[in-house]
Amino acid sequence: MAIRAFILAGGLGTRLRSVVSDRPKPMASVHGKPFLEILVQSLYGKGVNEIVLLTGYQSGWIEAYFRSCTTPRVWISREDVPLGTGGAVKYAEHFATDPTLLVNGDTFFDVDMAGLLRRHREKRRAATLSLTEVSDAGRYGSVLVDSHGLVVRFEEKANHLQGPGLINAGVTLLSLDAIRSLPTGRSFSMENEVFPELAAQGQMAGFVQKGAFFDIGTPESYRQFQDYARDHLLAGQPRE
């Protein structure tokens, strides 16, 4: 089954600015390679056939890099004004397939793609969200799942959530109908508006996985991913 992925790569990256100040966060260097290239290559290795990069802030960095490198089957969808994650997905609707894989451009998750696709087909919901358990869900916000494997609620980031819990791992399958139903012409958030609404409607399945997960949004997690990439993703590859 051919899979097309949308990668959200238009964020401002303010939390990482002390480490990466001159470029968009997805272009942060990891042993000489942009994080975004490592993410793209990982997705190709898991069966994704084509990539659409949803860009905005400092998009020139991303566009220039992917024009100059040999990474195949990558398209750019550039928003001229900030549209939020939801507006960016809607703006790229003409690229969408059924389903479309939506991936955060500042997180890495060793996703079980075959398992995610299987769960999406079994549950027949508008979306299937990859979930992973972390030791401190308060940093991310937790996701509650019922006994049928459906997402029922999202809990915001908060101190009272300290402790283990399931979180959004940043990889989601969206049906074409779900993308077509998104509002046009305004800025909105997939995470804060669309996903909770789908959950309330019983239209979001969850798929819990144990793959390695990194959110490179803070200097500490960025350094942790550098170590992981060196040992598991870039072994044997030339580095700058």
Q: Please list, residue by residue across 147-177, b when 16 or more beta carbons sit within 10 angstroms of its beta carbon and e when fewer do.
A: eebbbeebbeeeeebeeebbbbbbbbbbbee
CA atoms within 13 A on the CB side of 104: 22
Q: What is the pLDDT along the chain (240 residues), one digit of tens a residue?
A: 678 999 999 866 555 455 666 678 888 899 999 999 999 999 999 999 999 999 987 788 899 998 887 777 899 999 989 899 999 999 999 999 999 999 999 999 999 999 999 999 999 999 999 999 998 887 888 999 999 999 999 987 765 557 889 999 999 999 999 999 999 989 999 999 999 999 999 999 999 999 999 998 888 889 999 999 999 998 656 554
Q: Which of 12, 222, 16 is nearest to 107 (CA)?
A: 222
Task: Determine the distance from the C-alpha atom of residue 192 to the mean position of all C-alpha atoms in its chain, rounded to a whole number.
Answer: 14
The domains found in the chain, sorted by start residue, are 4-233 (3.90.550.10)
For residue 20, the model assigns a pLDDT of 65
Q: Which 3 state secondary structure label does DSSP give 209?
A: coil
Task: Write the DSSP string, 131-150.
Answer: EEEES-GGGT--EEE-TTSB
